[in-house]
């Protein structure tokens, strides 16, 4: 159960990170064209942001997965 949730959550988080980086790069190019001394992309900041978001995402889907794996199937069916 935990492995399945981690796999699906990781794929979703990775897709979101790729889309977010692409949008951040496009927004950076737009800002660099309009503002003085603004670079298109700052790799350390982007890396830190992606790492932070992926870390929070992993915790967000790992905690419920571990909790669900500890629960017995009959207990889960009873609560439904």
Rounded-to-integer distance, Cα 69 and Cα 44, Å: 37
Contact 40, 32 (CB under 8 A): yes
pLDDT at 80: 63
User: What would the two tokens of residue 9 be?
Assistant: 């959550």
Question: CA–CA separation, 19 vs 38, rounded Å?
Answer: 22
Express each pLDDT in 27-70 by its tens digit: 888 888 887 777 777 788 888 988 998 899 888 888 888 888 88
Q: Under a CB-based contact definition with an 8 Å cutoff, are residues 22 and 46 in contact?
A: no
Inter-residue contact 6 to 61 (CB < 8 Å): yes
pTM: 0.70
More confident residue, 74 or 25: 25
Residue 19 predicted with pLDDT over 90: yes
Q: Give the phi and the psi of residue 2 in degrees, each rounded to 5.
A: -65, -45
């Amino acid at each position: 159960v935990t492995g399945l949730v981690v796999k699906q959550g990781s794929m979703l988080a990775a897709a979101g990170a790729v889309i977010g980086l692409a949008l951040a790069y496009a927004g950076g190019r737009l800002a660099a064209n309009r503002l003085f001394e603004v670079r298109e992309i700052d790799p350390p900041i982007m890396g830190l942001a992606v790492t932070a978001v992926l870390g929070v995402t992993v915790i967000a889907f790992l905690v419920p997965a571990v909790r669900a794996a500890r629960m017995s199937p009959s207990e889960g069916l009873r609560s439904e």
